[in-house]
C-alpha cells in the first residue's frame, strides 16, 4: 500500500518547522516541501545584520541544510519550485520549477506556509537600479553588490564594525535611503550606517516603530539623530528619478533626497493567493482564518505562519502579526496535527493534538544602540478598540546604579483598571530591555495582575539587575494606583492639562540645583527635604501635579502631602526625565 502524503507549501519558518515536526510524529508518510525561492529555512531576521557586516559570514544565514534535512527527516525538498494551483477535488497541487518544468502531485494533507508578500508603495520609478528589498537572500546579495560598487573600500575592508557609538565613525560620502520606519526599516538604516553610509529614513506616519505607543519611540528618534541619520516623518516618497550613478527621491512635501542605495521597508501583507483560489476562508485581517489547531475552513488544509491569523490574547480577537516566533510555533502545531491526521489506524500511537493558545506580538529591535520593543496591548490600540485601560511608566536602571555601565530604561505597562490584569508592556533602553519584555510577556500569558508583578521573584546581582527590578517597580506603581494610594499622570496628560483653561499647580521636588539645570515651565521648586516646612505653599483646593527626576522622590512627597490632608495630588509618571524627552518629540 502506498504511503500517505503531506505537502507543505513554503519552506522557511513555518513550513520547515511543520515538516520537521510532522516527521517526528509520523514515520510512515511522505513529506514534500515546495519552496519557490532558492533557499529553505534561511535566517531572514539576520539579513539586515549581514548588510551591515555584523554577520560577516553569508553561510551563517542558512539555518537548515537541505541535505541534512533530507537525510535526517526523509523530506523531499523541492527548491525553486512554485505551487501554482491546488485542486481540493482531486487533492493535488500543480507546480512549476525555475526551468519551467512542472507537474502535479497528490496530497492527503496540505499545509500552506506561504508567508507574506511585500506591500509595494505607490512610488513612480520604484523599479530603478539603486532600490532594493531586504527580504530574501538574493535581494540581500543584490544590496551587497551595490554596496561594493558604491563604498570606497573593497568588501573585505568595508567599514569595520565597532562597538562604539555610531556617530564616532567617519562618513563615506555615500548616501542611503530607507523607505519605511518600522522595525525592519530601522534595522536596515542602522546597518547602512554601520557601513559609514549617511542614511535618511522616511516614514509616512508621525512616528517610527508603528507597533509602539508614540512617546516610547522618542529615544529611537533621538538615537537616529545622534548617530547622524536624517529622519523625515509625516512625509512620503512620490517619485524616484535616476541621476547618472545616483538617484533622487522626490517627496510629497517637495523635499528631495539624493541617494546611492535605497531599501524599501514598507511592510508586508499575508500571501493568501493559493488559499483564496481554493475557497479557504479569510479573517477580517485579510489573513487565513484558522482554528487553534491551525486548520483552515477547507478540510485537510492547514495554514501556519505569517499568512494566517492568530488570537491576540489581551483582546481575544484574531490578528495577523508577522513574526518569526509565532510562525515557528504555528508551523510546529500544523505539522504535528496534519501528521496525526495521517497516522495509520494500525498505529497505536497516542494522538497528542497541539493547539495554539495565541500571540502577544512580542517584538524588539535595536536601532543605533537603543533597544525598543513591546508585548501585548498598547494604549493606542486600546483607544482604537475602545477598551478601557490604564498605563504607568517607570524610569529605572537596567542594573544596580553603583555597578559600572548602568543605563536608563523606560518601561510602560498597560493594564485593565477593573481587575488589574496586565495587558501590555513596552520598554526602551539598552541592555536588559529584552529581559523585562520577556518577563512581562510571560506574565501576560499567565494572566497575571499588576499585584502579581509586585511579587515577581527575579534573579539579582549587581551586574544583572536591581533588588527592586524595574519590572517589580512597575507592579508597585500600578498596584499603588489601584489601591488609591498614588494616582499617576502621564506626561502627555500633563501637557494637555497645562494647556487647558484650568491648569494644575505643578510642583518640582528635585533639588534647587537640578531645577536650575532645567525644569518644566510653570513648575514651582520645593525640594523634597523642604516639603514639610513649605506645605503651605501648595494649594489644597486645586489639582496638583508633583514631579521629581524619575518619579520616586515625588511619590514620597505625594505620600507626605496625602497623609497631611491633600486629596488632589497626582505624581508625574517618569518624572522630568521622561517629560522632557516627550516635550522634545517633534524636535527631530
Ligand atoms: C529582514 C527581516 C527581518 C526580520 N526580523 C525579524 C525579527 O527580528 N524577529 C521576528 O520575530 N521576525 C522577524 N522577521 C519576520 C520573520 O522573518 C517572519 O515572521 C517569518 O519568516 C515568517 O515565516 P513564514 O514561514 O510564515 O513565512 P516566510 O518566511 O515568508 O516564508 C514563506 C515562504 O513560502 C514561499 N512560498 C510562498 N508561496 C509559495 C508557493 N506558491 N510555492 C512555493 N513556495 C511558496 C516563499 O518563497 C517563502 O520563502 C523579519 C523578516 C525580515 C524579512
pLDDT single digits (tens) 487-543: 999 999 999 999 999 999 999 999 999 999 999 999 999 999 999 999 999 999 999
Q: What is the DSSP string of 213-279?
A: -GGGGHHHHHHHHHTT-EEE-S--EEEEEEETTEEEEEETTS-EEEESEEEE---EEE--HHHHHTT
CA of 314 to the centre of ligand 1 (A): 25
User: How many other C-beta atoms lie within 10 A of the C-beta of residue 241?
Assistant: 13
C-alpha cell at 31: 513529506
Residue 1 pLDDT greater than 70, yes or no: no
The confidence score (pLDDT) of residue 548 equals 97
Confidence band of 164 (pLDDT split at 50, 70, 90): very low
User: Given this structure, which CATH class describes domain 131-266?
Assistant: alpha beta
Q: Cell triple for residue 453?
A: 508583578
State how far the Cα of 506 lies from the Cα of 494, in Å rounded to an integer.
9
pLDDT at residue 346, rounded to an integer: 83
Residues written for the chain? 588
pLDDT > 80? residue 569: yes
Tell me what pLDDT residue 68 has: 87
Atom number, ligand 1, closest to the C-alpha of residue 330: 26
Is the pLDDT confidence value at 155 over 60?
no
Q: Which atom of ligand 1 is nearest to the CA of 14?
A: 25
Is 312 within 8 Å of 387 (Cβ atoms)?
no
> Mean pLDDT for the chain?
94
Domain parsing of the chain, residue ranges: 5-118+269-342, 131-266, 377-483, 488-584
Q: What is the pLDDT of residue 130?
A: 95
Distance 12 CA to ligand 1 centre (A): 6
Average pLDDT over residues 218-227: 93
CA distance 247 to 272: 34
Residue 209 CB burial class (10 angstroms; 0-12, 13-18, ≥19): buried
pTM of the predicted model as reported, rounded to 2 decimal places: 0.93
Residue whose C-alpha cell reads 528635585 in the numeric block: 510
Lowest mean pLDDT of 66-75, 159-168, 254-263, name the range: 159-168
Distances (CA, A) of 240 to 113, 265, 438: 34, 16, 41
pLDDT above 50: residue 163: no
Identified catalytic residue from 45, 188, 459, 573: 45
- Residue 171's pLDDT is what? 58
Which CATH number does 377-483 carry?
Answer: 3.50.50.60
Report in angstroms the alpha-carbon separations of 453 from 77, 192, 315, 439, 509: 47, 39, 20, 10, 28
- Residue-wise pLDDT for 542-554, tens only, equals 999 999 999 999 9
Residue 167: predicted pLDDT: 38
Mutational test site, ligand 1, from 11, 35, 45, 366, max ligand atoms within 8 Å of CB? 45
User: For residue 486, with 0-12 CB atoms within 10 Å meaning exposed, 13-18 middle and 19 or more buried, which class applies?
Assistant: buried
For 409-425, what is each residue's pLDDT tens digit? 999 999 999 999 999 99
Residue 582, pLDDT score? 79
Over residues 37-72, the pLDDT tens digits come to 999 989 999 999 999 999 999 999 998 888 988 999
Q: Is the predicted pLDDT of residue 115 greater than 90, yes or no? A: yes
CB atoms within 10 A of CB 556: 15
Percentage with pLDDT > 70 across the chain: 96
Which residue has the CA at smallest separation from atom 29 of ligand 1?
12
- The closest of 77, 80, 43 to 60, measured between CA atoms, is 43
Task: Report the separation in Å between the CA atom of 164 and the middle of ligand 1, taken as the mean of its atom positions.
Answer: 32
Per residue in 425-454, is it b (16+ CB within 10 Å) or e — as a string? bbbbbbebbebbbbbbbebbbeebbbebbb
Do 300 and 109 contact (CB within 8 A), yes or no? Answer: yes
Q: What is the dihedral of CA 534, 537, 541, 544, to 10 degrees?
A: -80
d(Cα 388, Cα 376) in Å, to the nearest integer? 15
577-580-586 Cα angle (round to 5): 140
Closest CA to 343 of 330, 352, 356: 352
Query: Between the CA of residue 162 and those of 153, 453, 465, 553, what are the distances in Å?
Result: 16, 38, 26, 39
Residue 169: the pLDDT is 44
- pLDDT tens-digit profile of 169-210? 455 689 999 999 999 999 999 999 999 999 999 999 999 999
Ligand 1 pocket, mutate which of 32, 44, 63 (most atoms under 8 A from CB)? 44
548 belongs to the catalytic site? no
Report how far residue 423's alpha carbon sits from residue 313's, in angstroms, rounded to the nearest whole number.
Answer: 9
Please tell me the distance from the alpha carbon of residue 452 to that of residue 471, in angstroms, as a whole number: 11
Residues 6+ apart with CB under 8 A from 432: 398, 399, 407, 409, 464, 465
Helix (H) or strand (E) holding 81: strand 81-87
Sign of CA dihedral 374, 380, 382, 385: negative
Give the integer Cα–Cα distance in Å for 40 and 250.
38
Percent of the chain at pLDDT above 90?
91
| Alpha carbon distance 369, 382 (integer Å) | 29
Q: 322 CA distance to ligand 1 centroid (A)?
A: 8
DSSP state at residue 530: G
Quote the CA–CA distance of 199 and 174 in Å, as a whole number.
9
Cβ 354 vs Cβ 337: under 8 Å:
yes
Q: How far apart are CA 146 and CA 131, in angstroms?
A: 10
pLDDT number for residue 162: 40
Planar angle of CA 538, 544, 548, nearest 5 degrees: 90
CA–CA gap between residue 179 and residue 177 (Å, rounded): 6
Report the topology of domain 488-584: Oxidized Rhodanese; domain 1 (3.40.250)
- Please report which residue ranges of 119-182 form alpha helices under DSSP H: 137-150
Q: Which residues line ligand 1 (CB under 6 A)?
A: 9-10, 12-15, 34-37, 44-45, 47-48, 82-83, 113-116, 134-135, 184, 271, 274, 305-306, 322-325, 327
Q: Please state the CATH superfamily assignment of the domain spanning residues 5-118+269-342 in this structure.
A: FAD/NAD(P)-binding domain (3.50.50.60)
Same fold, 5-118+269-342 and 488-584: no
Grid coordinates of 358: 495565541
List, for residues 434-456, the tens digit of each pLDDT value.
Answer: 999 999 999 999 999 999 999 99
> 171 or 393, which is more confident?
393
Cα of 110 from ligand 1 centre, angstroms: 18
Q: Is 142 left (phi over 0), alpha (psi -120 to 50) or beta?
A: alpha
What grid cell was written down for 163?
Answer: 562597538
Looking at residue 2, its pLDDT comes to 86
Amino acid at each position: 500500500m502506498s504511503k500517505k502524503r503531506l505537502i507543505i507549501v513554503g519552506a522557511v519558518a513555518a513550513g520547515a518547522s511543520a515538516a520537521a515536526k510532522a516527521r517526528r510524529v509520523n514515520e510512515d508518510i511522505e513529506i514534500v516541501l515546495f519552496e519557490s525561492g532558492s533557499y529553505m529555512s534561511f535566517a531572514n531576521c539576520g539579513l539586515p545584520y549581514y548588510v551591515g557586516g555584523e554577520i560577516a559570514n553569508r553561510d551563517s544565514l542558512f539555518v537548515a541544510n537541505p541535505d541534512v534535512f533530507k537525510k535526517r527527516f526523509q523530506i523531499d525538498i523541492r527548491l525553486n519550485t512554485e505551487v501554482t494551483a491546488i485542486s481540493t477535488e482531486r487533492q493535488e497541487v500543480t507546480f512549476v520549477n525555475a526551468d519551467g518544468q512542472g507537474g502535479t502531485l497528490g496530497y492527503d494533507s496540505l499545509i500552506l506556509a506561504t508567508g507574506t508578500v511585500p506591500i509595494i508603495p505607490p512610488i513612480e520609478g520604484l523599479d530603478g537600479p539603486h532600490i532594493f528589498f531586504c527580504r530574501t537572500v538574493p535581494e540581500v546579495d543584490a544590496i551587497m553588490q551595490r554596496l561594493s560598487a558604491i563604498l570606497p573600500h573593497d568588501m573585505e575592508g568595508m567599514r569595520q564594525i565597532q562597538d562604539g557609538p555610531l556617530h564616532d565613525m567617519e562618513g563615506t560620502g555615500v548616501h542611503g535611503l530607507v523607505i519605511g520606519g518600522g522595525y525592519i526599516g530601522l534595522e536596515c538604516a542602522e546597518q547602512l550606517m554601520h557601513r559609514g553610509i549617511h542614511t535618511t529614513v522616511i516614514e509616512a506616519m508621525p512616528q517610527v516603530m508603528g507597533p509602539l505607543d508614540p512617546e516610547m519611540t522618542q529615544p529611537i528618534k533621538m538615537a537616529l539623530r545622534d548617530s547622524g541619520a536624517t529622519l523625515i516623518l509625516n512625509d512620503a516618497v512620490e517619485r524616484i528619478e535616476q541621476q547618472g550613478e545616483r538617484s533622487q527621491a522626490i517627496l510629497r512635501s517637495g523635499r528631495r533626497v539624493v541617494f546611492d542605495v535605497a531599501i524599501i521597508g514598507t511592510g508586508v501583507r499575508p500571501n493568501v493567493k493559493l488559499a483564496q483560489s481554493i475557497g479557504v476562508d479569510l479573517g477580517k485581517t485579510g489573513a487565513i482564518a484558522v482554528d487553534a489547531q491551525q486548520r483552515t475552513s477547507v478540510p485537510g488544509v492547514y495554514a501556519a505562519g505569517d499568512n494566517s491569523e492568530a488570537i491576540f490574547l489581551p483582546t481575544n480577537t484574531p490578528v495577523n502579526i508577522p513574526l518569526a516566533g509565532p510562525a515557528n510555533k504555528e508551523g510546529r502545531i500544523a505539522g504535528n496535527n496534519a501528521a496525526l491526521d495521517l497516522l495509520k489506524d494500525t498505529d497505536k500511537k497516542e494522538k497528542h493534538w497541539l493547539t495554539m493558545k495565541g500571540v502577544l506580538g512580542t517584538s524588539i529591535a535595536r536601532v543605533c544602540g537603543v533597544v525598543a520593543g513591546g508585548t501585548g496591548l498598547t494604549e493606542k490600540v486600546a483607544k482604537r478598540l475602545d477598551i478601557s485601560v490604564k498605563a504607568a511608566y517607570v524610569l529605572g536602571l537596567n542594573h544596580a546604579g553603583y555597578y559600572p555601565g548602568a543605563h536608563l530604561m523606560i518601561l510602560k505597562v498597560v493594564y485593565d483598571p477593573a481587575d488589574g490584569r496586565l495587558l501590555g508592556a513596552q520598554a526602551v533602553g539598552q541592555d536588559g530591555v529584552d529581559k523585562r519584555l520577556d518577563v512581562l510577556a510571560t506574565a501576560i500569558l499567565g494572566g497575571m495582575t499588576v499585584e502579581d508583578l509586585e511579587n515577581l521573584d527575579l534573579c539579582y546581582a549587581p551586574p544583572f539587575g536591581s533588588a527592586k527590578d524595574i519590572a517589580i517597580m512597575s507592579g508597585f506603581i500600578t498596584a499603588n494606583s489601584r489601591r488609591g494610594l498614588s494616582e499617576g499622570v502621564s506626561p502627555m496628560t500633563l501637557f494637555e492639562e497645562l494647556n487647558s483653561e484650568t491648569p494644575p499647580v505643578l510642583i518640582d521636588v528635585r533639588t534647587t540645583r537640578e531645577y536650575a539645570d532645567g525644569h518644566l515651565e510653570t513648575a514651582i521648586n520645593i525640594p523634597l527635604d523642604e516639603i514639610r516646612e513649605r506645605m503651605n505653599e501648595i494649594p489644597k483646593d486645586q489639582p496638583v501635579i508633583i514631579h521629581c527626576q524619575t518619579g520616586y522622590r515625588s511619590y514620597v512627597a505625594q505620600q507626605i502631602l496625602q497623609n497631611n490632608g491633600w486629596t488632589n495630588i497626582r505624581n508625574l509618571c517618569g518624572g522630568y526625565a521622561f517629560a522632557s524627552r516627550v516635550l522634545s518629540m517633534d524636535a527631530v
